[in-house]
Amino acid sequence: MTYIDTVEQLEQLLINSRAIDYNGITLYLLNHSEITSVLELELTVRADNLNNGIEKRNHFYEYAKIINPEYPAFKYTLSMKHKKKEIFDPAKVKKAIPAEFEIWKNKARLELQKEIDAEDSSITDSQAKKFKEDLEKEIVISEKKLKEVLDNYEEFDVVISTFEQYTYYPALYYVMELPNGKTKSADTHLRKDVPNLLFYHDERPYSELRANDRMSRIIQTFDRYCENIYIHKK
């Protein structure tokens, strides 16, 4: 199965699912039948990869983020949270340096090109050329420095951290219902590049819900019109 085939099959599986758009991400609420179909597709992708000698920790990473494949959530909250990465262990830092450089290099080039190509950009052709030349010089300098560090690693203290970037990402807090009648809460950051899939099922009567939970369920399951009108067909 090709990448395009898998994407098309996933799109068909999600075509009737409830989608929540939030700060650049899409969260799909899947019922039992829908999550089962998605997991079957995931198994197909995994089998194809293994048959082709491809080993991955998450074979479905390119296609979607499956949040809770085992137990349904009956409550969730979306928010923006600070996501930071910190690596202090010298061995882990050394291993991560080449990938960090590639990610930064590609991201820097992409962001500069987006800034140049933006409809409201005031950057002239000559300025764009200089910005690109300056960036390439910075890339060469950084690559040379990192090679020096890797070749003489014992002479340096190196830490990888995104603390100064202080980037905010969409995050999901959710509560799952376990088979023993207990509940379990969890949270995770969501991805912008693929669909985020939440196995969701809530049949608690309104009479059993607290006021906040009742309104939360309405927001999650009703369609909104005219800002303040929520409609759901019985």
For 76-135, the pLDDT digits (tens) are 888 888 777 788 999 999 999 999 999 999 989 999 999 999 988 899 999 999 999 999
- DSSP strand pairing (183-189 vs 196-199): unpaired
pLDDT of residue 83: 72
For the chain, percent of residues with pLDDT exceeding 90: 62
Q: Which of 23, 80, 83, 64 is nearest to 198 (CA)?
A: 64
Taking the model in full, what pTM does it have?
0.63
Cα–Cα distance measured from residue 103 to residue 97, given in angstroms and rounded to the nearest whole number = 10
Cα–Cα distance measured from residue 17 to residue 33, given in angstroms and rounded to the nearest whole number = 11
Residues in CB range of 138: below 8 A, 6 or more apart: 108
**Mean of the per-residue pLDDT values of the chain:** 88
Cα–Cα distance measured from residue 134 to residue 116, given in angstroms and rounded to the nearest whole number = 14
pLDDT of residue 72: 93
Cα–Cα distance measured from residue 18 to residue 31, given in angstroms and rounded to the nearest whole number = 10
Helix (H, G, I), strand (E, B) or coil at 191: coil
Q: Which of 83, 6, 93 is nearest to 43 (CA)?
A: 6
Task: Print burial letters for 65-90: b (CB count within 10 Å at least 16), e (below 16).
Answer: bbbbeeebbbbbebeebeeeeebeee
* Per-residue pLDDT band at 208 (split at 50, 70, 90): low
Q: What is the mean pLDDT of residues 24-41?
A: 95
For 137-193, the pLDDT digits (tens) are 999 999 999 999 999 999 999 999 877 666 778 999 999 989 888 889 999 999 999
Q: Which of 39-43, 198-202, 221-225 has the highest mean pLDDT?
A: 39-43
